[in-house]
Structure 1
Amino acid sequence: MLRALEIRDMLIIDRLELDLQPGLNVLTGETGAGKSILLDSLGFVLGWRGRAELVRAGAERGEVVAEFDLPSGHPAHVILEEAGLPGGDTLMLRRVNTQDGRKTAWVNDRRCSGEVLRQLSDHLVELHGQHDDRGLLDPKGHRALLDQFADVGDLKADVRAKWQAAQKAQKTLVQAQTALAEMKSEEEFLRHAVAELDQLDPQPGEDADLDARRRLMQVAERVREDVTKAFHALGSDGAEGAMGDASRWLEGAVAEVGEPLEEPLAALARAMGELGEAVNGVERCLDQLSFDPHELEQIEERLFAIRALARKHGVTADELGAFANDMRAKMEALDAGEGNIAALEAAAKAARDAFDKAAEKLSVARKTAAKSLDAAVMAELAPLKMERAVFTTEISADTAGPEGIDAVSFQVATNPGAPSGPLAKIASGGELSRFLLALKVCLSGDDSQITMIFDEIDRGVGGATADAVGRRLSSLAKGGQILVVTHSPQVAALGAHHWRVEKRVEGDVTLSTVVPLGEQERVDEIARMVSGDVVTDPAREAAKALLAGVA
């Protein structure tokens, strides 16, 4: 709900502070007094695109501040959170326009973009009038308005979910078809690569093992003779034999000599143990240096084959096993591909059939609701002196999407038998205003969280029709807030709060201001609206009668 509007140096307004109230707020005044400037200024702070030159002549910049109440659960809270802006139960919008056209905006004293203002405005203010292209006259929003009237939120959620599922299933199918086509294009290579890898069957670590064995064999002939000599020098014919003889001789002498030979014998025993390990190790080495001359050739052939295959596929030798597994998996996918595609095609068809069924159910609900909406609007048109007009909600086929399969457009004909057409194009100014009001009454629902502005919606009507317009505006305002700019005394008399927009001349400068009206001032203003420039006593009596009729 709009609580306050402060305007500084905008067009012919130097400074204006307006405190608005719940219920029906009416703005009246002579033509040219500046009523439209108020709406232009409000649209400016809400980020709406409007007239370019707004700064008052002689001022460096213009500024508009709007204060809104934000009750708990208001959708604006979500927008503030997503934009990283401070929240609370009060929303303060401020926007500045300089003489050179630069615009700067703040939300709760934090800088923000015009786009954020526009997103917030969608949940703060509705403007209705013959120049309104944001609300009921915009065909792009008619489907959402019908859905709101029809209360089909659950059906729409089901359609949206099934659309997403159908899109996902179709995407999975296309990806699988693309992957299969790519695999088929390299099928010959895959089969040859798998056969080649299966035949070689490289094992993890085999490259390092073969390389080590190859290096050992390459040096075997050169070092084998020296190792053999060392084996003989250490063995029974060499050191091992000599140490054995020495041990036996000392053991025979220890019985005679005693203690002096015990330690040498122990040391000799330890040395013979170490010597035995050395002999065994040298012997094992000799065994490894003994190989079939053809074995080196075989090892080299396999080692070179593994390395060549690794280079061919751009992997390391140790990665060949994993690469082979990948190739086999691709082959299995290729062999099973047609079956998988068939299953995915069936899943995609089932998902689309489910969407079609849900969309058709939503379409039936919309068509049923459209008949009810048409009847409700027609019932509202009669008191507005448009009982011969025809309103229809046209539902046609639309490209399938997350909102279903329907396009919705509000069509009108001003007289029976006359051709119908889009609401914005067929009706005249006064007729259009009454169509909009009747439609808004039927679609209002719970609008307590939004401020509705009706800009001269009573244009072209008077008498009982104007009274009917006012009473419907008053009814809409219950529990919410409506701001109406009007030239109709019948509508003005029904307002809960009344302001007069007036011009004054100071020197050579024309300025506009807004004055809240008390009881007697309301009588005078409504009398002026009844009689014109000269307010007569009969006009005052008529004004009092209008105000008394409200009570």
Structure 2
Amino acid sequence: MLVHLSIRNYLLVESVELDFAPGLTVLTGETGAGKSILIDALALALGDRAEGGVVRQGAPRAEIAAEFMIDGLPQLAAWLEEAGFASDDGALILRRVIDAGGRSRAFINGSAAPLAQLKDAAEFLLDIHGQHAHHALLRPQTQREVLDAYAGAQQSAAAVSAAWYAWQVARAQRQDAESHSQARQIEREGLNLAVEELRALGDDLARWDEIQIEHARLAHVTTLLEGSHALIHGLDEGEAAVFGRLGEMSARLDAMQAVDDSLSEVSTLLNSASADLAEAVHALRRYAGNLNLDPERLGELDRSLSDMHRMARKHRVQPDALAALLQQFETRLGELAASDDLDALQAHEAAAWTQYQAAAKQLSALRRKAATALSKQVTVAMHELALAGGKLDIQLQPVSEPRTHGLEDVGFLVASHPGLAPGPLGKVASGGELSRISLAIQTALSGVAGVPTLIFDEVDVGIGGSVAEAVGRRLAKLGETRQVLVITHLPQVAARGTQHLRVAKQASGGFVSSNIESLDADARVEELARMLGGLKITDTTRQHAAEMLAG
């Protein structure tokens, strides 16, 4: 559960430190005081998008930190361990820092983390029900999502959606094969011809560089032979050959070394040069011996190079890319063969359809069971919320053709009074009734959710009197099993809280700020009296407030 929230330099808040208790916590304050600031700040700590405008005027940055105790959340603890954010004290601290320019940083237990991971952690921690949630409830998609959430069928719904798309792809492939078979036949014939031509070049496709080197050597073999013989003659065979001259010099150096032994290093170097020269001459003779005039082989290489250049020009690639092009053509031919196998494509489509049907029927069964249970639970809650005789009827209407969300549409039909036939939610319920029905549904969902903390942001708008008392009782009952935080303008709801926070505006030094404080018993009486009587608080309103708290 949420145990502490720290807010600094966020919008109108300069600095607030709040401790939270189990049960029902109510947050009140005059209109415009900034009651939703706490919820908005908490949402930022949980990964919501931030902008520079949220930083308090004159401050360099805003900072929000939320601390949760997670002893009863083993799945979250395992996720934190795997992600490298585990702590030893059973606490989880989510922190968000936003600078005045809009740049944002996020931290989990003191370590930097991307926003996506804050959002992942938030999924385990709490649900926020906004004051306009009842408007979203009018949309068929939202009604379907509500039912799936109550049924615990979100994964099943996702599987149905994935199976539907897989079936659509398989069907499109089969239809494409049927309608474009002639075009693919033309493409296949062209590819077959190109593959045959490229395969005719044989191993030469992969030997482009080797063939070029061999061709260059054979084309210039006469020049190479003449050069080799000239080098051998100059180094070893001519009258002034280098090798002979080097021998004479070596003999003279030996005679000098006999007189001065310090020339031994020079003698060693000269002997080494003589040995290297002998090896070079030997290598030249071996090279020249392997050079042969081979006009026939040269002609073969000429033809190979010519063929590869012609193919390269035809396909508008470089000759060394022909081998890769052949592989690309062969791959495409395989794809065309598979796409033209109508029997295989039809079998694949049928298998995809069967898989979709199985997943959709399983989802339908979950929805039917959940629709009955949710209808009963919400109907009971409606009676508790001063809608006696009203009921919710969840209908599953078969669709004319399979859809991504399954085999049925979900519709919430409601009768707000006895004797009225159930009708569409948006046409039958008034604004206040819709708000109460929405609260009944939200609390029903909260009963099956695993999150320990629930936040309601003015979901009691548009109601009052005995209805407000019923709403307060409903929220207090929910607070017996969950930590519940409610922003409210109703004293009947505020009186039910086990903890009471108040938001107030104050002006100082030309700046307006919002302050959030926890109220003691006396302060709660004063706040409830204000909510009951407005600006003028009398002893009567104080007495009424005290009675509400006592009741």
Give me the TM-score of the superposition, normalised by structure 2.
0.64
Render the CA deviation track for 1:276-300: whole Å, top value 9, x for unaligned. xxxxxxxxxxxxxxxxxxxx99x99
Structure 1 136/482 Cα, relative in aligned 2: closer, same or farther at 3 Å? farther
Distance change in 2, residues 1:197/1:132 (3 Å): closer
Q: Distance in 1 between matches of 2:380 and 2:125?
A: 29
1:382 counterpart SS class: helix
- Give RMSD over aligned pairs: 5.3
Q: Is the 8 A contact 2:28 2:501 kept in 1?
A: yes
1:437-476 aligned within 5 A:
437-476=439-478
Distance 1:459 1:64, change over 3 A: same
Q: Which runs of 5+ in 2 are unaligned?
A: 219-294
1:356 maps to a residue whose letter is Q
Matches within 5 A, 1:193-232: none
What is the alpha-carbon distance in structure 2 between the residues aligned to residue 433 and residue 320 of structure 1? 71
Residue 518 of structure 2 corresponds to 516
C-alpha change, 1:328 and 1:450, in structure 2 (3 Å) is: closer
Q: Do residues 38 (structure 1) and 38 (structure 2) align?
A: yes
**Which residue of structure 2 aligns with residue 29 of structure 1?**
29
Contact 1:310 1:316 in 2 (8 A): no
Query: 2:380 aligns to what?
Result: 379
Q: State the shift of 1:163 in Å.
A: 4.3
Q: Given residue 23 of structure 1, which amino acid in structure 2 is its aligned partner?
A: G
Partners of 1:441 and 1:190 in 2: how far apart? Answer: 67
- 1:91 pairs with one of 90, 93, 106: 93
Deviates further, 476-485 or 523-532: 523-532
Shift of 1:18: 0.8
Please list, as runs of the form range in 1=range in 2, the aligned pairs for 1:69-88 lying within 5 A after superposition.
69-71=69-71, 72-74=73-75, 78=79, 86-88=85-87
Q: Distance in 1 between matches of 2:48 and 2:332?
A: 57
The equivalent of 1:276 in structure 2 is none
User: Aligned residue for 1:481?
Assistant: 483
Aligned to 2:17: 17
Q: Work out whether residues 530 and 537 of structure 2, in 8 Å CA contact, stay in contact via their aligned partners in 1.
A: yes
Q: Is the 8 A contact 1:70 1:91 kept in 2?
A: no
Q: Per-residue deviation at 1:17?
A: 1.1
Task: Output the CA distance in 1 between the equivalents of 2:447 and 2:362.
Answer: 23
Alpha-carbon displacement from aligned partner over 1:431-468 (angstroms, at most 9, x marks no partner): 33312211012222343525322123333433432222
Partner residue, 1:159 = 160
Equivalenced residue count is: 464
1:8 paired residue number: 8
Alignment partner, residue 68 of structure 1: 68
Kindly provide the amino acid, as one letter, of the partner of residue 22 in structure 2: P
Partner of 1:106: 106
Q: Which amino acid aligns with 1:536?
A: D
Q: Distance in 2 between matches of 1:60 and 1:507?
A: 19
Give, as a single letter, the amino acid of the residue that structure 2 aligns with 1:487. Answer: H
**Does the C-alpha gap of structure 1 residues 6 and 322 become closer, same or farther in structure 2, counting only changes over 3 Å?**
closer
Q: Distance in 2 between matches of 1:409 and 1:94?
A: 40
Instruction: Name the CA distance, whole Å, in 2 between partners of 1:197 and 1:11.
Output: 73
- Summarize the alignment of residues 127-146 of structure 1 with structure 2, pairs less than 5 Å apart: 127-132=128-133, 140-146=141-147
Deviates more, 1:377-386 or 1:153-162: 153-162
- TM-score w.r.t. structure 1 length? 0.64
Q: Tell me if the contact between 2:455 and 2:486 (Cα under 8 Å) persists in the aligned partners.
A: yes
- Contact 1:500–1:517, Cα closer than 8 Å, also in 2: yes
Distance (Å, rounded) in 1 between the aligned partners of 2:318 and 2:150:
67
Q: Which amino acid aligns with 2:451?
A: Q
Label 1:172 to 1:545 Cα distance change in 2 as closer, same or farther (>3 A): same
Pairwise CA distance, 1:381: 0.9
Q: Which amino acid aligns with 1:143?
A: R
- Is 2:349 the counterpart of 1:348? yes
Structure 1 alignment gaps of length 5 or more: 216-295
Give the equivalent residue in structure 2 for 1:187: 189
2:376 alignment partner AA: A
- Structure 1 residue aligned with 2:492: 490
| In 2, Cα distance between equivalents of 1:403 and 1:445 | 25
Indicate the larger mover: 184-193 or 60-69. Answer: 184-193
Residue pairs, 1:295-374, within 5 angstroms: 340-374=341-375
How far the C-alpha of 1:302 sits from its partner, in A, is: 9.0
Kindly state the Cα deviation for residue 155 of structure 1 after the two structures are TM-superposed. 4.7
CA deviation digits over 1:502-542, x for unaligned, max 9?
344546554432332334443444444445532426743x4
Aligned partners of 1:3 and 1:69 also within 8 Å: yes
**Contact persistence 1:76–1:120 (CA under 8 A):** no
Q: Residue 40 and residue 162 in structure 1: after superposition, are their counterparts in 2 closer, same or farther (change >3 A)?
A: closer
Task: Give distance in 1, aligned partners of 2:194 and 2:27.
Answer: 86
Per-residue deviation, residues 268-323 of structure 1 (Å, max 9, x unmatched): xxxxxxxxxxxxxxxxxxxxxxxxxxxx99x9999988777666656999x99999
Tell me, in whole angstroms, the C-alpha distance in 2 between the residues paired with 1:154 and 1:118.
Answer: 18
1:447 and 1:510 map into 2 onto residues whose CA distance is 39
Distance 1:192 1:31 in 2: 78
Instruction: Quote the Cα distance in structure 1 between the aligned partners of 2:436 and 2:452.
Output: 21
Equivalent AA in structure 2 for residue 31 of structure 1: T
Could you tell me the percent identity over the aligned residues? 34
CA–CA separation in structure 2 for the residues paired with 1:145 and 1:128: 13
Give the partner amino acid of 1:485: I
Shift of 1:410: 4.3
The residue correspondences of 1:364-443 to structure 2 (distance < 5 A) are 364-387=365-388, 389=390, 391-393=392-394, 395=396, 397=399, 403-408=405-410, 410=412, 420-421=423-424, 429-443=431-445
Structure 2 counterpart of 1:536, from 527, 535, 539: 539
Distance change (3 Å), C-alpha of 1:158 and 1:433: closer
Alpha-carbon distance in 2 for matches of 1:511, 1:201:
82
Q: Distance in 2 between matches of 1:322 and 1:525?
A: 80
CA contact (8 A) 1:183 1:330 kept: no
Q: Distance in 2 between matches of 1:179 and 1:521?
A: 82
| Distance in 2 separating the partners of 1:321 and 1:457 | 69
Deviation at 1:127, TM superposition (A): 2.7
1:350 partner amino acid: A
3-state SS of 1:438 partner: helix
CA distance in 2, matches of 1:201, 1:510: 83
Asked if 2 retains the 8 angstrom alpha-carbon contact of 1:194 and 1:328, the reply is: no
- State the shift of 1:53 in Å: 4.5
Aligned twin of 1:237? none
Quick check: 2:177–2:339 contact (8 Å CA) kept in 1? no
Report if the CA contact (8 A) 1:531-1:539 is conserved.
no
Q: 1:29 to 1:153 in 2, by over 3 A?
A: closer
Q: Offset of 1:348 from its aligned partner?
A: 1.6
Quick one: distance in 1 between partners of 2:135 and 2:57? 30
Which protein has the larger Cα radius of gyration, Structure 1 or Structure 2?
A: 1
- Measured in 2, the distance between the counterparts of 1:435 and 1:413 equals 11
Q: Structure 2 vs 1, CA of residues 165 and 327 (structure 1 numbering), >3 Å: closer, same or farther? A: closer
Report deviation, 1:181.
Answer: 5.1
